[in-house]
Amino acid sequence: MKKPILISLSLASAFALGLFTMSFMTKTSKAKPKKEKSIRLGVFSVSLNVKDLQKSKDFYEKLGFSAMGGDMKDNYLIMKNENTIIGIFQGMFEGNILTFNPGWDVDAKNIKKFDDIRIIQKHLKSKQLALLSEADTTNTGPASVMLTDPDGNLILFDQHR
């Protein structure tokens, strides 16, 4: 009589131990991967190559944009509608450019916490992205980095401070 009880207890113990081990292994193997810290790119705008600065200014004003920077005599204006920012540039570059300004908010005011352009550049390189231009890593302050996306769109990181 004792033998069948011992065998049953042994089997139940082995089964329970197997379940415990399996649940422990499942929990450790399903551990969430460590989330990569994202970089702060800065305020975003689109820099548009325009044929006629005055016509473009008039057009974007009809959409509710107003000038917040630049100057007509310098052939460019930075325009804003709420948190949307565009730059309109006449004769300064070809195509349009996606622009990020590290260290600025949507009002072109300095922010305290931001990722310096050199940190952004290091991140881009760590992702094996080919850069068209690079920031000098031996100094600090204003600098820029440029690359293209897979469709050839220019992306500019332009730090002003």
Total residue count of the chain as it appears in this document: 161
pLDDT tens over the chain, length 161 residues: 555 544 444 444 444 445 444 554 445 556 666 777 788 999 999 999 999 999 999 999 999 999 999 999 999 999 999 999 999 999 999 999 999 999 999 999 999 999 999 999 999 999 999 999 999 999 999 999 999 999 899 999 999 99
Residue 120, Cβ density class (10 Å: 0-12 exposed, 13-18 middle, ≥19 buried): buried
Structural domain count, the chain: 2
> What CA–CA distance (Å, rounded) separates 121 from 118?
5
Q: Which residue range(s) make up the domain with 27?
A: 1-31
Q: Are 52 and 22 in a shared domain?
A: no
Q: Are 1 and 75 in a shared domain?
A: no
> What CA–CA distance (Å, rounded) separates 27 from 149?
39
Q: Are 66 and 96 in a shared domain?
A: yes
Expressed in percent and rounded to 5, the helix, strand and coil fractions of the chain are: 30, 30, 40
Residue 38 lies in a domain: no
Q: Are 48 and 104 in a shared domain?
A: yes
User: What tokens does 40 get?
Assistant: 């702060």
Q: Are 97 and 144 in a shared domain?
A: yes
Q: Are 15 and 88 in a shared domain?
A: no
> What CA–CA distance (Å, rounded) separates 84 from 107?
10
Q: Are 90 and 139 in a shared domain?
A: yes
Residue 36 lies in a domain: no
Q: Are 133 and 100 in a shared domain?
A: yes
| CATH number of 126's domain | 3.10.180.10
What distance separates the 2 farthest-apart alpha carbons in the chain?
104
